[in-house]
Chain A
């Protein structure tokens, strides 16, 4: 009963504060979605540092991860700037009692506030699962940034254009590994197919448009067509099959996550949560 009341209250509050046109917060939300997605994959991939199957690939995955954290910082910094300039005051600003910064946005937002794709919060699993996750994501990122580099928003276009060059390498590296493992031994093929089955349900969400993506990604279907075409081509060469009739999970873009995100945030945010503003 009480929870019902409070939800009514928040609804009412939402309506009251919606004097700003609905599109007002869209750009900030979309930037946070991009920032959160790259940050969470950074946190996941980062766990491979020092544990890669061989030295060169340990270096490769950590270099990819370095690109991702760089992209993430660019998105957070820009989101923070827009948030500080706008009248929308999100919770991390209030909590930190200060202006929004890349750090407050990364460390002080809750699980429900994170807008990352479900795909990137999935476990590292074995090397096959990490490779499949990276490949499915990098191909998506490639076609997404290809669109965004033409955005009317100059700063978003600049970050996308910069990132696109890096993602081109990520796609080629992960595609090579998909082929090597898929078309490798019986065991490597089996592990790849298992990884694909585990991750495929989280790929549909990439092409389900969130409110805040409207007007920013105009051709989400085109994005899907290009993505599936590239994935198919590489999977064929890798002798891997695409699962059919799979129920697609969604929610990540709007803050509804699998339980795994809570664990990631607990570890990642612990220091800032317990020692607010800690620096070294």
Chain B
């Protein structure tokens, strides 16, 4: 599964913009607005950082945003859909459709590197890649020690677990690998 938002961000609109098909420019403009929509539960991340925007489809003046939930019971999905709609309306878009899909199943591997960096700075240990060894402990976001212990598999939201650093003793959230 290619990560569209990453592709977009690493390929900013170049000076040959006139050669880019209009639909493509339209899509890129929509993506840059989606970058401004924060995840309501971890507001330091945009919905693009989180990897829940799967695609943007543009036909004439119609725009369809395809999103996928992090967890089945994610209570933020309705709020996110509404935030996307408001953001696009604010910039003059009228014909907006937001579609929720379940497949392919969301994984923390879709979180952008930039998103992981922002999480760490925010004090939340970012998820490891799901292919990595699960036994490897997350590093403490405060002192970077790997000497940490699990306090609870369930943290303040469904996507987080609660850990504690054995060195600096600070408890911290770990964004669970999913």
A residues in contact (CB < 8 Å) with B: 56-57, 59-60, 63-64, 66-71, 73-74, 154-155, 157-159, 161-163, 165-166, 169, 172-173
Contact = CB atoms under 8 A, between A and B. Distances in A.
Report which residue of B101, B102, B152 has the largest number of chain A beta carbons within 10 angstroms of its beta carbon: B102
In terms of DSSP, what is the predominant structure of the interface of chain A? helix
Given A162-B105, A165-B178, A74 B72 contact: yes
Interface of B: 69, 71-75, 101-103, 105-106, 151-158, 162, 176, 178
Contacts of A56: 151-152, 154, 162
B102 A67 contact: no
A69 B73 contact: yes
Contacts of A70: 69, 71-74
17 contacts: A59-B152, A60-B153, A60-B154, A66-B71, A66-B158, A67-B73, A70-B74, A158-B103, A159-B72, A159-B102, A162-B102, A162-B103, A162-B106, A165-B178, A166-B72, A169-B176, A173-B154
Contacts of A60: 152-154
B72 A59 contact: no
Nearest to A59: B154
Contacts of B101: 158
Q: Which of B69, B75, B106, B154 has its CB near the most chain A CB atoms (within 10 A)?
A: B154
A41 to B, nearest CB: 13
A158 B105 CA distance: 8
Contacts of A166: 71-72
A173 B151 CA distance: 12
Nearest to A61: B154
A169 B154 CA distance: 9
B102 A74 contact: yes
A158 B73 contact: no
Contacts of B72: 67, 70-71, 73-74, 159, 162-163, 166
A45 B176 CA distance: 23
A163 B74 CA distance: 12
A59 B74 CA distance: 15
A169 B158 CA distance: 11
A74 B103 CA distance: 13
A161 B103 contact: yes
Given A70-B72, A71-B72, A162-B72, A63 B154 contact: yes
A102 B152 CA distance: 32
A73 B102 CA distance: 13
A279 to B, nearest CB: 14
A71 B105 CA distance: 13
Given A56-B162, A74-B72, A64 B102 contact: no
A161 B69 CA distance: 13
Nearest to B103: A158
Contacts of A159: 72, 102
Contacts of B162: 56
